[in-house]
Amino acid sequence: MESSRYLKITGGTPLHGSIRIQGSKNAALPVVAAGLLLGQGQTLTCTNVPLLRDTETMAALLRELGMTVTFENGTVTVTRNGELSCEMPAVQVQKMRASSIVLGPLLAQQGRAVMPMPGGCTIGARPIDLHLKGLAKMGAQIELHHGAVYATAEKLRGCRIYLDFPSVGATENLVMAAALAEGETIIENAAREPEITNLVQALQAMGADVVFKKDNQGIIQVNGKPELASGTVKIVPDRIAACTYLLAGAITNGEVTVTDVMPQHFDSLLAKLEEAEVGYLRQEDRVTVYPSRDRMKSLSVKTMPYPGFPTDVQPQLMAALCLAHGTSVVKESIFESRFQHVPELRKMGAEIDIQGNTAVIRGVEALNGSDVQATDLRAGAALALAGLAAEGETRVHGLKHILRGYEDFDKALTSLGAHVSIEEGESIA
C-alpha cells in the first residue's frame, strides 16, 4: 500500500557533494495550467518540469478537461484540440490545493467552471476568497454549494483589483483570467514570487499582453486578447528544493553544492545562514555551504511574502535550529497550521515551545532517531533533515507528501552520501 512506504534514514553522516536542482514545482503547476488559455490547435511547451506527484496530477487534471498533455524527459506539452469540459474532476482536484489555479483560465476560456474544493497539505485554511473576489470583480457570478465552486461569466471584463494579501494563488488565477478578458486589468498588491514571474514569461511567450509595472513592485498590467497562441517556456529552478539541500548540508555539518540555481531567489535564506555563521560561497548559478568549526548560531526568523523568508522553508530551517547554539525564535505569519512538524521533532529530542504562531527552539546537543509522521510536504522534508543529523535510525512515514515536491528525494540524498532508502512497512498514522 502507498501509505505504508516510509523513508528510512541512518543519521550522523556529514553530506558531501553536488546536486543539480530540479525545476520548480510551484512554477510548473500554474504554467502548465496556462495551457487552458490556448486557441484551437495551439501548443504550450514547458521545459525543465520536475516529475512529481503534483505535476502528474496537474497533467491528469488537464487531460480530463479535454486538453492533450504529454510528459516526457522533463518536457510537458499542452495542446488544445476540440472542446473542453467545464467541470473539474474531484478525484484530481482533491489531491492538491494547487488545483484551484485552474479555475481562472478555465472560466476565462469557457465562460463556466465548476471546481470541487481542493485538497492537499493540511497547513491551514488557505481559503480561496481572494481568488473568488477578484473573479467576481471581473464580472463572474460565483456560487458555493455542495462543496463546490460554480463560476459563470458570459465574458470577463478587465478592471482594477487590489489584493488584501499578496496571495500567490490568487495572483496566478487572476493574471491568467485577465489574459482573455475584455480590456485592461490592473492587479495591485500582487504576489512577487519568482514563480509569478515565470508564469508571466509563459503568458508572454503565448502572445499575452502582460507586464509588471514599476519594476515588479506588486503591480501587474494585462490587456486581454481573444485567444493565445503556441509558445515555449523554461521552468525556473526550484528555490525551495535548493534551500532544503543547502540546509541538509548545514544540519549535518557537511559541504553541499546546489547547481543550476538562481541564488537571488533565496537571498533570504543566505542572509540567515550568514547570520547563523554558516559558511557559504555564492556564485552565478550555484551555492556551496561549508562545514563549521562550531554549531550554527541561533536565529530569529519571521516568514513573509517574497522577498521575505519563505514559509515553505520554515520547517527545514527549524529542524536545523534544533541543533543550533542558543535559543531561536520562529514566527509563522503565512499559514496558521504550519507547526505540525513540531511534535514529531520533539520525539527526536528537540526542545520546542509553541506560543500561538511563534515557536521557541532551544538548541540541543544531539537529536535521536525515531519513528515520525510527515503531515505535509515541507514538514516531511524537515523530518528527513532532522533524521540525517540524528543519532541512530529515523523512519519518516507519510512519504507520499515528500514525493509531491521533491524529485527522486532518496536518490538525491544518497548521491550526497546519506544513508537513505525507501522501505515498505506499517504506517504509524
Q: Which positions are catalytic? A: 121
Give burial (CB, 10 Å; 0-12/13-18/19+) of 215.
exposed
Task: Compute φ and ψ for 138, nearest 5 degrees.
Answer: -85, 5
Is the distance from CB of 33 to CB of 101 less than 8 angstroms?
yes
- Which residue in 305, 357, 362 sits closest to 331, CA to CA? 357
- Count other Cβ atoms within 10 Å, centred on residue 383: 33
Task: Please report, as a single letter, which amino acid is at residue 104.
Answer: G
Q: What angle do CA 74, 80, 86 make, to 5 degrees?
A: 110
Helix (H) or strand (E) holding 371: strand 371-373
For the CA atoms of the chain, what is the radius of gyration?
21
CB-based contacts of 313, cutoff 8 Å, min separation 6: 240, 243, 244, 247, 266, 269, 378
- Count other Cβ atoms within 10 Å, centred on residue 246: 28
Q: Are strands 16-20 and 255-259 parallel, antiparallel or unpaired?
A: parallel
Task: Please report, as a single letter, which amino acid is at residue 366.
Answer: A
Question: In sequence order, what are the beta bridge partners of 16?
Answer: 255
The C-alpha torsion from 103 through 336 and 309 to 288, rounded to 10°, is: -90
- Which residue in 312, 71, 20, 48 sits closest to 202, CA to CA? 48
Q: Specify the DSSP class assigned to residue 73.
A: T
What span, in angstroms and rounded, lies between the C-alpha atoms of 328 and 358? 10
Residues across the chain = 429
Location of C-alpha cell 549535518 = 252
- Count other Cβ atoms within 10 Å, centred on residue 57: 21
